[in-house]
Structure 1
């Protein structure tokens, strides 16, 4: 995958982001819609990324500072910029989705490692996410641990699981390839 790069999300990416998000989540009732997705980006544009593969849109990752053991409600847009008190503590990955044709190549873990590097450089100490659609198996090899005691908003569905990890510089990351289904959630 030599012609693949991760870059910051830009205004012209939104149609592709929204279309991919709808394909990934509409059938399960987890699709948020354009305004909610854009509100996550507005809260922290420096931690939202797009994957380009061979010059085309290949996926996205939205992350924002959020208190550890809490998460955004899928049914609500963010109110604005994230409070300064949250910056530098926990970075929450709100969503990562890879296009159907690129799934199964380990790209979602690669995007997460890119995010972890960004987070470490910015001084974040922990990272969190909510695994949906059975994606816990994708995030566990990256060091995320299930925190089943954490209650989640009903908008995530009954099978969602909160996961968190400490952020530490890693020497190497031998993350195995992932399945095509796994690179959503």
Structure 2
């Protein structure tokens, strides 16, 4: 993964990182709490899609992502048990950065990593559930709103009233 300076890098998440990731999630996403079991399960199911941002030996962010099928996203704080087969998209469960780590291009690097994973897995879409406060950020990254079905609307309600399904196409060979 890309290093922005010698002491700040994205690296693969390990089980030893989970306690810090869960704590960081609780601080950053106070309105969207998830149990530690959610992070542990995503790491077990799709380790290649789970990264941590390390700065001078301290974790300052994380990426949780995995293969997925369809637009009905996982409800907030819900175990998956297995990943759907075959997948038709790569799902960004969460990118979270501590305030001190924001503005340095780190989120963009994490998104690029997820795009590469989608392309490597021959998936044509990167999809996510955007909470209301994050929507403008995701739209600026090239994501567009999907028109949710009634079932999708019910799942989105587990996040917040302004939550939206967003997707971004993955070109087969965009040179990333």
Partner SS state of residue 5, structure 1: strand
Q: Deviations over 1:11-61 (max 9, x none)?
A: 1111110011101122x2x11110122222222111111112233212101
Q: 1:30-45 maps to which residues of 2 (within 5 A)?
A: 30-45=32-47
| Aligned position for 1:9 | 13
| Aligned position for 1:176 | none
Shift of 1:171: 5.3
**Under a length normalisation based on structure 2, what TM-score does the superposition of the two structures give?**
0.85
Worse-superposed segment, 68-77 or 142-151: 142-151
Structure 2 CA distance, aligned partners of 1:157 and 1:136? 12
Partner SS state of residue 135, structure 1: helix
RMSD (Å), alpha carbons: 1.8
Spell out structure 1 runs of 4+ moving beyond 3 A.
169-172
Contact persistence 1:5–1:51 (CA under 8 A): yes
- 1:167 corresponds to 2:170: yes
Structure 1 CA distance, aligned partners of 2:117 and 2:18? 22
Structure 2: segments with no counterpart, 5+ residues: none
Structure 1: segments with no counterpart, 5+ residues: 173-185
| Aligned position for 1:25 | 29
- 1:155 corresponds to 2:158: yes
Structure 1 CA distance, aligned partners of 2:24 and 2:147? 28
Contact persistence 1:37–1:77 (CA under 8 A): no
Which structure ranks higher in relative contact order (CA pairs < 8 Å, sequence separation ≥ 6)? 1
Aligned residues: 167
